Structure formats: C-alpha cells, structure tokens
Structure 1
Amino acid sequence: MGLKTKVLVLKRIRAGDQDLLAKVYGKGGVIDLLVRDGFLNNHRFFGLFEPFNLLEVDLSQRGGIAIPNDIGDVKFLSYLCRDFERFLWFSWISGFILKFVKYYDEKLFNLFISYMLSKSTQNTLRIKFRLDYLELSGLKPKFLEEEKHRRMLKLSDGSTSDKGDVEVSAESLNLIKKVYRAEKPQRIKIGAGALQDLETLLDLFIEHHIR
C-alpha cells in the first residue's frame, strides 16, 4: 500500500494508445498520475479520472510517476458540468490551481472545493476567490486594511506608496476592498473592463510570490 490521499482531478490527457495521464491536486501539490489502460472501457478505473471528480486514492511512486493502486470514495463533481456556466467555472478554478498553486494545504483544498460547489458562478467571485486564496496562503495584501491609497503598489506586501512596482488607482483598490468585505460579493456588479483590470492586478501580486 502507498500514500492515501484525496485528490481533485484537474485535467486528463491520453498517454499512448490506451493509458491515461491525469493532473491532480492533493498531497504533494499538483502531480501527474498515470493510469495504465485507463482509456479502456472495461478498466476498473474507467470514468473515475474525469476532470473535477474528487477521489480518495491509494498511490504508489514508481520512477517519478504516481500510480493509483486503489480508489475509495468518489464524488462525481463532473456531473455538475451539465450546466455550461458551471463547466466554465470549474475549468477556471482548475486552471488557477494549475497555474498558481505550488504546494498542498488542506485549507486551500477545502477552499477550492467550496468554491466549486458554490451556487453562484458570477464573475465577481473570481476576485473573492483570489483574495481568500491569498489570505489562507499568508499573503493578504496590505492595501485591504489601508484607509487611503497612494498611486503605486508594492508587490512585496501589497501596500501602496509613492514608490512601488505597479501604478494603481484608488478606485480599483476600493472595488477590491468592497468585494473582500462583502457578505455576498456575487451581488456586486463590476463592468467587464474593470473586472479584467482587477484580475490582472491580483494575478501580478500572486505571480510575484510564487516565483
């Protein structure tokens, strides 16, 4: 027996004629998991490693590749993707994990699942999701607690000053603070252009801290 862990399937690809390679998030962070003959419909794991499914897996490490020995509990979150908006939401969260998340943390794991199961998929939640991720990672930007903002943002700690790394507007920072403090952030309406600017700013901050 190997390592037992819960994993969230982020994506899967065909490896060869009939093998399946899944990228999953669990203990060890984002790892590659090889399922021999996983694309054959008579395989015991067929259909389990669909993107977004939540699995309890017993893993072994063989030559730098994780291999599933056995599957315990399965939650077929992929079934929720019959709604296209839900599919886009799940895909966005999976993409975020693949791009930004470098380590495993149980609180982060639970955060990702809770957002996937959220009833709302409003775009404003992408801002709140990032802020919750930063807070749980110990990277809460200091501007969230500032009363007045200067014109430059320091990527090192998220504070504002007259000298920094990125020019920002007080309006943008106040919008982010509004989302952060709201009990129901999904009800806050933000225009598409402004939303993209806020997402770009937060992504710059996250990227600075995962280099």
Structure 2
Amino acid sequence: MATSSSGSAAAESRNRQTLIRLLIAMLLASLGLTSCGEESPTTLIKPDDFKAAKGEASDAWVGIVGMPPCRALREFNRDLNLAASGDVTGTTVGFEGGGYVFAVVFSPTATSPSADEVVAGVQGHVKDCAAEIADDPSRNVEELSDLPMEATGFRGVENNFTSEYVYAATSGDRLLVAGMEYATEDRAPVSVERLLELSADRAPDVAETEGW
C-alpha cells in the first residue's frame, strides 16, 4: 500500500512539473524569448550543491517557477515575471523521485516598485492567500520568519505537495527569489536559508554576466 501511495505521489509530481514546464514555455513564447538549453558559465545554483540532484541545471526557464497553493500568490509571482519582460535569469535543479529547487534574479529595472518594496509586500500577499484558502483543509500557507538578508517568504501546502519561496533584495536593487517544491511526505531537499545563501553569493556574478 505504501509503495502504491509513493508511486502515485511520484507520478503526480511528474505531472505537476510537466505542467510547470508548459506554463513557463508559454510565458517565454509570449515574451519572444528563446533558450539554448545549455547551462551558462555562471549559475545561481548547481546540481553539485545538492546530494539528491539529478541531471544538469536548466537555465531554459526564465522567471519564478512553481505553483503556490492559492491564486493570490500565483498571480503575485506571475505579475513579477511579466513585468520583468525577460530581464530575469534563473536556474532550476531537479531531484531523483521528483521535486526541484530554483533561484532567479531580476535586473534592477525589472521590478517596479523597487526590490525592497516587493519584499516588504510579500507578507500582505501571504495574508490574502490565507484568507482565500481558509475553508479548504487540503491547502495551507504560513509565513516564513527569521530569514537571512531581511528576506520574506512562505511555505504552502496543497494536497500532497509543499512549496517554499523566499524573496530578498540584493545589491544594486536586484530582486532574488528562490524556492522549491517537494512531496509533503518527504523532507525538503535543502533548507530555504541555505538555498538563499547559495544563490545570493552567486547573484553578483550572474548579474555581471547579464550586463546588469
């Protein structure tokens, strides 16, 4: 019975990731962007950073990925992606058995209001999300506290999946967003604090490569 449940969760994870890939591909097409599918010399995160990573990092997706547990937060991330109009670069790393982590950094001109104001506004969107799903026992959201870099973020649960997102302002008014999705029954592949630390350390080099 446990094997069947695990197999079902893995299949659902693959289906969700396929949907996410499709949504991001549609976004890229709408922005007129293309990708070569090759890992750039400088990336925010790398497979070697994580024990259970599989394959290579992908830089083909541009923008925040994933599916938070409510419309309020999905639209928040979507609006950040659309406003950036391609002035954002990111990396995703998949894991054996499903799940992934990602990190993206926006150019200074890609966020309006400023990166600091975006970060300060996350809490309000989390509250809107909590109100939206208050009567749904299959979904939950909570704000993450005590994060480094004065970052803000949240952890969301929807059915069998947990997603975590953190938002931070880096040097030069660049918005950095990092996060992950994994089966709720599994342990998180990495702490959001460590994910934020890794991507923040490399963000200046990535920005320099992009000419930001």
Regarding TM over 0.5, the answer is no
Larger Rg computed on CA atoms:
1
Higher normalized contact order (CA 8 Å, seq sep 6+, divided by chain length):
2
